[in-house]
Amino acid sequence: MTSPRDGFRTVSKARFGDDEKMTSLFPMFVKLDGRPVLVVGAGAVGEQKIRGLLPTGARIRVVARAASSAVREWAGEQKITIAERAFSKSDLDGIFFVVVATSSPKLNRRIFREAQRRGILCNVVDVPEQCDFYYPAVVQRGDLQIAISTSGQSPSLAQQLRLRLENQFGPGYARWVAELGETRRRVLASDLDAQQKRELLQSLASPEAFEALVAANHKLNGRSAV
């Protein structure tokens, strides 16, 4: 359960003996550049999961009896490596995490158990009890990412919230965040004292500053930046 003051904080229940305790998911953004990631299954669902991993720089390995045309195309472009065959336990050797998207519940469960035995994080798509992590619904505007999770309880709600936030945070935020990053580097390298730097950076990141940017772009281009 969550309370209004928790915002998007997600809470799940876990049993330890006879006591029911509340445990929270830990939200974080992970650097996958160069890390080996395994996806088992390359149909429509597997393709979607692979597509989401492509921009991360992860070394994506795919194992599937059959693959979609898009997955084969990515393999041909050397964006991923693929083995079109049955899953083997050795496919988990050296893997950082695994995403399982096959149509066989029995196989999915076997892969999850093997991953658990090895201490490898695993996500079996659409089976919350066989997930060490969940895919959030994401709003992305350049370097700005807003991730929403319901701990697997209602992906539909997460998607509805994503649509609302996409309307609230328009494309103009991508440019603004990039400009904030460049300005931050200049401010930190300046001779201002720590308090002045903090106050300046906070004012530059205010809603008023964004509205001023939108107004300036609107005046310059004759259209809104959001």
Q: Which residue has the higher pLDDT, 213 or 173?
A: 173
Q: Give me 212's structure tokens.
A: 């001023």
**For residues 224 and 226, what is the distance between their CA atoms, to the nearest angstrom?**
5
Q: How many helices (H) and strands (E) does the chain have?
A: 7, 9
Task: Using the predicted structure, report yes or no on whether residue 217 has a pLDDT greater than 70.
Answer: no
Q: Give me 193's structure tokens.
A: 């004292």
Q: Does residue 93 belong to any structural domain of this protein?
A: yes
**pLDDT, tens digit, 9 for 90 and up, residues 84-123:** 999 999 999 999 999 999 999 999 999 999 999 999 999 9
CB-neighbour burial class of residue 58 (10 A; exposed 0-12, middle 13-18, buried 19+)? buried
pTM of the model: 0.73
| The total number of structural domains that make up the chain | 2
User: What is the extent of the structural domain holding 99?
Assistant: 36-133
CA distance readout (Å), 171 to 167, 168, 211, 218: 9, 10, 13, 14
Model pLDDT, residue 219 = 62
Quick one: what percent of the chain has pLDDT higher than 70? 85
Position 9 confidence tier, pLDDT thresholds 50, 70, 90: very low
Dihedral, 203, 208, 212, 217 alpha carbons, nearest 10: 100
Q: Does residue 114 belong to any structural domain of this protein?
A: yes
Q: Where does a domain end: 102, 133, 164?
A: 133
Task: Using the predicted structure, report yes or no on whether residue 181 has a pLDDT greater than 80.
Answer: yes
Query: What is the CATH number for 105?
Result: 3.40.50.720
